[in-house]
Structure 1
Amino acid sequence: MQTYDVVVCGAGPAGAMAAAEAARSGLKVALLEKQVLPRHKTCGGGMPMTIQQFLWDLAPEAFVESNVTHMRHTWEFDDPYLGAINPEGVSHQLSLWMVQRSIFDQALAQRAVRAGAELRDGLAVRSLIPEADGVVVRAQGIKTGAEFTAKARYVIGADGANGVVVKATQLRQKRSIAIALEVEHPHTWGTGHADLRPEVVHLEYGAVKQGYAWIFPKGDHLNVGAGLFRPGKLDPRKDPTVRAELQQTICDYLTTMGVAYDRSQLRFHGHPLPTWSGKEPLHEGRILLVGDAAGLVNPLFGDGILHAVKSGHIAGQCLAEDAAQAYTQRIHREFAGNFDAALALAKVFYQWPGICYKYGVKYERSTRLATQLLCDDLHFTEMTERAMNRLKRSVGNHFFPAWNES
């Protein structure tokens, strides 16, 4: 049996960051990944440029395919509003980066290797057995069938919302799940709608009830998707109509933007988004959860890459400092207040999206404010009350009972 200080299960952004931080401190780390890297990962692939502060030793040119400076908003594919992330007179320039997760995750995994972690890809974790002084991890090669058994002082679960690690604990028993569906469609820039440009993200709010759709520009293709958010309600995966609704929205978006496609050739990829639903324990004994496994997806926007990287950074630091029992408290200190405020706003936005679009999204400063929130340049705790007051002034003080109950 091999022995490690830390075994990280999952080599996405959260796991790779945790492995790098722990290994950099001198701990013996194994980073396990079920698939052989690089591998496709269903994800919109958008992230704020401020993620660079955690990836200081990686050149953005290695993984960034588009640098977004504008958002084009629509309601039921009409009533467009093109908003600048950096309107005239703004000195602090911000942008959103678009990446392919296969490239981005590979870059982060190799970064962890350079920090001293041992990468074992193509190795699927099968079981975890907690013991008094560690955790026994059993895994198997997906191609070779070879058995891998190791004992670690600590295990970091970075294998997603439905991963093996969280199932081996009593953590995350009640989860709030959103669902997203997307396609990767080849695109030649200069064709289709005039606003299809590498620097423009497209966001559509009326086509999906309690959700939104998007078009994210990549190097040679478009990531076109739709997501369903029902804050505080049942898992939408249990609704048999959801998949067809999201598929149709994606097709309608392609048609509206003048993108020719053959529906029979579209490959729809679905994935759950475990959104924040409130404070809860995120470590149990010697097992810590990060990223999607910990439910660290913003309940309003549905973004998770920056939060995954942050949680991996915190987990790695906790183990480096021999402070694993402080992990949940540190995660709550970093995320809870901001995400609680985002959740309160999400309950209003997804109940009255038309009103919020007219008086909120189309507000001249909203694109800038949304980007500041995504970049962690502004916190929901600072602006949620302001946003609600603006809506109340616009449509009447008593129109939003859900806000008063939240």
Structure 2
Amino acid sequence: MRHNAHYDAIVVGAGPGGTTAAWELARHGARVALLERRKLPRHKTCGGGMPITVRQLLQIDACHDLAPEAFVEARVRYLRHTFRFASPYLASLNHGPAGEDNPSELELWMVQRSIFDNALAQRAARAGAELRDALTVRRVECADTGPIRITAEGETGTWSATCDFLIGADGANGVVARQVGLRRERAIAIAIEVEAPHRWGEGHEDLRPDVAHLEFGVVQGGYAWVFPKENHLNVGAGCFRPHGQSVHGDQNLRTELRKTILDYLRYLNVPYREEELVFHAHPLPIWNGLDMVQNERANVLLVGDAAGLINPFFGDGIYSAIRSGSIAARAILEGRTTNYTDAIGEAFRANFDGALRFARFFYRWPGFCYRHGVLRPYASRTAVRILAGELTFPDISRRIIRRIRQAMAVERGGPYSRRLRDRQMLE
């Protein structure tokens, strides 16, 4: 299976970032190949929750070639929080304070990545991208001059082609970044999840298709979740360790996360057989500051997880993958790839740097933050507005500092007030 064609761009990885980039390029006339190492549709370990504003990023309403009904399995309008499986609080996403400047209706879309990613990949193919799955990239040759050469292996042999631009959308351990020498230093977090079969109407009374569950306090440096899907629950736990420590090979942590998942199922009265549950682990390349996401020639660009665009507080990456894929495609189409890293910085740095500062504070003192933050009436709506891109962490930083001061005054004399330094922790 020798190919040897030439493309304007080759995109490696058919996740949300890669498929968005391939679609944008193809629909504007570029010759594009979209490569995926596994056969589509393929399982992808991910909670699968994303803000409804991906509708605008994916231009669903304008282009009419991608219907939410094809991939959205549940629409979440409530978040149920607990701290160490106690102090439950069910918060609506659509009851904001009077006079709020953005009265938009909020919801979180819940998807299975196998279905969602395949829908995006097929849309890119309909736009003209050449979709090649079950094809593993083995070599990236990027010389000082001339086109880039890609060599890959598939079921029928070797595939080789050249391109003017290469987009690495192949995840935390992607071959593209590794072979061109980008992102050698990464902050890797970890998440583990299961998909537990569930019939609606059974189990805990707050197990509903419109409710997502979040547990703080049990996982040190992270949280656990239960996300509703059509006929199952995605139950997971993640440790983000926002201070930058590596979680690679930490077997004790994996055991802790698995135990948390089982405890969550028991807490919500979801019957299970442990031997039948399949635990999936996946690395999360948490944002740890803006890194170079283009090579010196600016003909290799990284997007999504490959670029380290995982929000260090929420641990989500779908929204930023789609957004970065679009930014990469526009940079190529408009001849501005030399400024691609700056464009990514402009889009993400202020918010993600603020999220990292807040994460270091929140995950160090989760009990304090749960009492004085999560339990506040409009905190959940504010968090989802940040997820949706309507607000950023810098937008609310002064409010956070003020509330920390107020909370410290309430708890003055206790262990928190002696140890916390509000402004220093957030700056």
Give TM-score, length-normalised by structure 1.
Answer: 0.97
The answer to whether 1:41 aligns with 2:54 is no
Secondary structure, counterpart of 2:142 in structure 1: strand
The answer to whether 1:401 aligns with 2:421 is yes
2:377 aligned to 342, 350, 364, which one? 364
Q: What CA distance in whole angstroms lies between the structure 2 residues aligned with 1:403 and 1:36? A: 50
Secondary structure, counterpart of 1:236 in structure 2: coil
TM-fit CA distance, 1:206: 1.2
Q: What pairs with 1:79-158 in structure 2 (closer than 5 Å)?
A: 79-87=87-95, 91-131=103-143, 132-141=145-154, 143-144=155-156, 146-158=157-169
Per-residue CA shift, 1:259-309, capped at 9, x if unaligned?
A: 011111110000011111112211002210000000001000001101000
Q: What CA distance in whole angstroms lies between the structure 2 residues aligned with 1:400 and 1:277? A: 23
TM-fit CA distance, 1:169: 2.0
The answer to whether 1:310 aligns with 2:299 is no
Q: What pairs with 1:2-401 in structure 2 (closer than 5 Å)?
A: 2-55=5-58, 56=60, 57=63, 58-87=66-95, 91-131=103-143, 132-141=145-154, 143-144=155-156, 146-284=157-295, 285=297, 286-396=299-409, 399-401=419-421
Secondary structure, counterpart of 2:188 in structure 1: strand
TM-fit CA distance, 1:402: 7.6
Contact 2:165 2:300 in 1 (8 A): yes
The letter for the 2-side match of 1:21 is E
Per-residue CA shift, 1:97-130, capped at 9, x if unaligned?
A: 0000011001100111122110001101111010
Give percent identity, aligned residues only: 50
**What RMSD over aligned residues (CA atoms) do the two structures have, in Å?**
1.3
Q: What CA distance in whole angstroms lies between the structure 2 residues aligned with 1:215 and 1:113? A: 33
Secondary structure, counterpart of 1:241 in structure 2: helix
Unaligned runs of 5+ in 2: 410-416
TM-fit CA distance, 1:379: 1.0
How many residues align structurally?
404
Q: What CA distance in whole angstroms lies between the structure 1 residues aligned with 2:223 and 2:146? A: 46
Q: Which moved more, 1:181-190 or 1:160-169?
A: 160-169
Q: What CA distance in whole angstroms lies between the structure 2 residues aligned with 1:50 and 1:152? A: 32
TM-fit CA distance, 1:234: 1.6
The letter for the 1-side match of 2:288 is S
Unaligned runs of 5+ in 1: none
Contact 2:178 2:184 in 1 (8 A): no
Contact 2:203 2:268 in 1 (8 A): yes
Q: Which moved more, 1:167-176 or 1:267-276?
A: 167-176
Contact 1:23 1:112 in 2 (8 A): yes
Give TM-score, length-normalised by structure 2.
Answer: 0.92
Secondary structure, counterpart of 1:327 in structure 2: helix
Q: What CA distance in whole angstroms lies between the structure 2 residues aligned with 1:398 and 1:292? A: 38
The letter for the 2-side match of 1:120 is R
- The corresponding residue for 2:414 is none
Secondary structure, counterpart of 1:238 in structure 2: coil
TM-fit CA distance, 1:148: 0.4
Q: What CA distance in whole angstroms lies between the structure 1 residues aligned with 2:240 and 2:256? A: 13
Per-residue CA shift, 1:208-261, capped at 9, x if unaligned?
A: 111100000000000000000111322112322011000000000000000011
The letter for the 2-side match of 1:159 is D
Q: What CA distance in whole angstroms lies between the structure 2 residues aligned with 1:103 and 1:388? A: 41
Q: What CA distance in whole angstroms lies between the structure 2 residues aligned with 1:169 and 1:25? A: 27
Contact 1:181 1:247 in 2 (8 A): yes
Q: Which moved more, 1:168-177 or 1:45-54?
A: 168-177
Q: Which runs of 4+ in 1 moved over 6 A?
A: none
TM-fit CA distance, 1:400: 2.5
Q: What CA distance in whole angstroms lies between the structure 1 residues aligned with 2:183 and 2:243? A: 15
Q: What CA distance in whole angstroms lies between the structure 2 residues aligned with 1:306 and 1:233? A: 22
The letter for the 1-side match of 2:359 is A
TM-fit CA distance, 1:385: 2.8
Secondary structure, counterpart of 2:180 in structure 1: coil
